[in-house]
Amino acid sequence: MIRNKPQAAVYGVDLGKNLFHVVGTDATGNIVQRVKFRRETLMAFFERAEPSLVGMEACPGSQWLARKLQALGHTVRIIPAQFVKPYVKSHKNDTIDAEAIAEAVTRPTMRFVEVKRVDQVDLQALHRIRDQMVGHRTKLICQMRAFCLEFGIPIRQGVGAFKITLPTILADSSNDLSATMRRLLTELFNDLKGLEARIAEIGRDIEAAAADSELAKRLMTIPGIGPLGATALLAAAGNGQQFKRARDLAAWLGLVPQQHSTGGKSLLLGISKRGNRYVRRLLVHGARSCAMHLDRSKDRLGLWINQLQSRMHINKVVVALAAKIARIAWVVMNRPGALYQQRGHAVS
């Protein structure tokens, strides 16, 4: 039975597939309510509740529920699961988890996950599906190459070389391929062509989304960022206003050194590789392309790359450039109408 107008200032919600545990606390943090709902009654409870602060862990379903609760007038905060764990007291169960969430969401220094719009979720789904298919394509090619090696037929590296060479191998009746293996490879190669057609279709959807977004167009003025990188940033970070500084975006993507300092002694390690692996990978690949193809004589970024490359390995230069691109992207995202303007070395 749903209680009338619960008097709680903060709610912690432990999410599940069918059962949701809710703990309500007053303004001083004292627990005033512990309830459990099924999915169909949870929304009815919050429709009757006074507008309040609602916290939940980041997990599948949290974005949907957050949008629904925001529409009801509640302030919703999504917390990464690793930041909730220190607030779990004693043994673990769903109610204790909800209590921990209710406490963690009130901390002034807590870090939260942005509530995504529906279009962001759709765009992120396109990227994840494409990334999964690209990975499957790589596995398929490696498997076919290994099958060929079992019959003494090597194929040089590279997707393009493989697609050119394999049909020739299949058509050559003088090699040692058995009839069964020839048939299997033909079927796998047809699967590969179908997979590539699907990848290209999703790529066109992503490019169309980039063409329709004014912010994505401005992000693509930055060297090293194309339609994939721009839309991936928009899907993951939105407008970027949740980051106070440009370095915060780079740190969120894991492009800054990991720090282990104590006793007044600073120790910087390799890059932290925290946060969104997919976006970080796109930025690093974009930075590598930029380091290889950017006209360094016409862009002050080229002078910066030259100076960096004179004292460190190219791989470190690429990662540093990826972090710089992320910081430039933050400026473009946070300043309306801002573009990356190519300037010569003489311009300060």
DSSP H helical ranges for the chain: 39-48, 62-71, 81-84, 94-104, 118-149, 159-171, 179-212, 214-219, 227-237, 246-252, 277-293, 300-309, 314-334
Residue 104 structure tokens: 């963690």
Residue 256 structure tokens: 């800054």
Handedness of CA 103, 107, 113, 118 (dihedral sign): positive
Look up residue 191 and give its DSSP letter: H
What confidence score (pLDDT) does residue 4 get?
52
Judged on CB neighbours under 10 Å (0-12, 13-18, 19+), 245 is: exposed
Look up residue 113 and give its DSSP letter: B
Taking phi over 0 as left and psi of -120 to 50 as alpha, with beta for the rest, 90 belongs to left
The SS3 assignment for 259 reads strand
Whether the Cβ atoms of residue 37 and residue 55 lie closer than 8 Å to each other: no
Question: Rounded CA gap, 49 and 264, in Å?
Answer: 49
Could you identify the residue written with the tokens 């993507």?
253
Residue 144's alpha-carbon distances to 1, 4, 87, 198, in angstroms, are 60, 64, 50, 20
For 150-198, the pLDDT digits (tens) are: 999 999 988 899 999 999 999 998 999 999 999 999 999 999 999 999 9
- Amino acid of residue 256: V
- From 217, 225, 332, 210, select the one nearest 284 (Cα to Cα): 225
Question: Rounded CA gap, 194 and 214, in Å?
Answer: 33
Residue 271 structure tokens: 């890059």
1 contacts: CB under 8 Å, gap ≥ 6: none
* pLDDT beneath 50: ranges in the chain: 1, 5, 347-348
Helix axes 314-334, 227-237, angle to 10 degrees: 60
Q: What is the pTM of this model?
A: 0.85
Helix axes 118-149, 277-293, angle to 10 degrees: 70
Residue 282 structure tokens: 């796109």
For 264-300, the pLDDT digits (tens) are: 788 878 788 888 899 999 999 999 999 888 888 777 8
Q: Give the count of beta carbons closer than 10 Å to the beta carbon of residue 150.
A: 11
What confidence score (pLDDT) does residue 65 get?
93
* Distance between first and last Cα of the chain: 67
